[in-house]
Amino acid sequence: MNKLVLKYPKLGSSANPEKLSMLISGILVAIIGVLASIGIDTVGLELNTLADSIVSLVELGYQGVALIMVIYGIVRKIYIKYFKKN
């Protein structure tokens, strides 16, 4: 079974839930095409490896957004408590 499908079962194929769906595979192939067109070497990369890398980048992005939200909330709370005049 695909590691990506094990981690995210919704990415599984409707015909064979143990395989990556054709939609996701197509998106990944399109991404490979874009990467190749901008000069990034994708030769030798397995589709699963690329998919895992993309998932990792997305998760990292979510963590970055969460960190920004936390920092913004702390700064806003301090501003309202100490600096805002009623």
pLDDT digits (tens, 9 = 90+) for 42-56: 556 666 676 777 777
DSSP code string of 3-29:
HHHHH-GGGB-SS-TTSB-HHHHHHHH
**Rounded to the nearest 5 degrees, what angle is found at the Cα of 68, between the Cα atoms of 62 and 72?**
145
pLDDT score recorded for residue 47: 63
Band of pLDDT at residue 72, cut at 50, 70 and 90 = very high
Distance CA 4, CA 73 (A): 34
Q: What is the pLDDT of residues 27-40, one digit of tens each?
A: 777 777 776 676 66
What mean pLDDT, rounded, does the chain reach?
A: 77
**Global pTM exceeds 0.75:** no
β partners of residue 20: 12
